[in-house]
Amino acid sequence: MLTRIDHIGIACHDLDATVEFYRTTYGFEVFHTEVNEEQGVREAMLKINDTSDGGSSYLQLLEPTREDSAVGTWLAKHGEGVHHIAFGTPDVDGDAAEIRDKGVRVLYDEPRRGTMGSRITFLHPKDCHGVLTELVTSARVEPDEH
C-alpha cells in the first residue's frame, strides 16, 4: 500500500547551486548526498518532514553524471524542473506487481537500488498521465554527518 510521498525528484544542471538555492530561500538542509552510477545521477536529499508511518518526505535534487542518462536526456529536452514523483510503500515488490496487473508498465523486473539503500522501481510516464512515478521502499536511515 502506498502510504506517503517519499520524494519529489527535481532535475538540475548544477547540484551545488541548487542545494544553495533551497538552503538560502527555504532553509532546507541536505540530509544525504550520493552518486548513483546505475541511475546516472549525483543527488542530494533534503528532508522536509517525517510522516505518520515512520517514514519521511524529501526533495531529491538530481544532477546528471552523463548526458545519456534519464535525467540528462530529460534536462536537454525540457530544462530544469520537476522530473518525477515517488510514493513510499513498505512493499515495493507487491505494489509494483499489483500495478503491473492493472496494465501500467513497470520499468524494472526487479526493484533496483535507490537512495540511502532504498529499493525502487518506476512506472512509465505515458501510462500515468504524463507523470514519471517511482515506488520506494526505504531502508532505515540516519542523516549524513556534517
Strands 81-88 and 133-137: parallel
Rounded CA separation 29/129 (Å)? 32
Q: Is the dihedral of CA 22, 48, 121, 4 positive or negative?
A: negative
Catalytic residue list contains 43 = yes
Residue type, 39: Q
9 binds Co ion (CB under 5 A): yes
90 binds ligand CMX (CB under 6 A): no
DSSP-assigned letter for residue 117: G
Convert residues 77-116 into a mask of x (bound to Co ion by CB under 5 A) and - (unbound).
Answer: ---------x------------------------------
Residues that bind ligand CMX (CB under 6 A): 9, 39, 41, 60, 62, 70-71, 73-74, 77, 83-84, 107, 114-115, 122, 124-126, 130, 132, 134
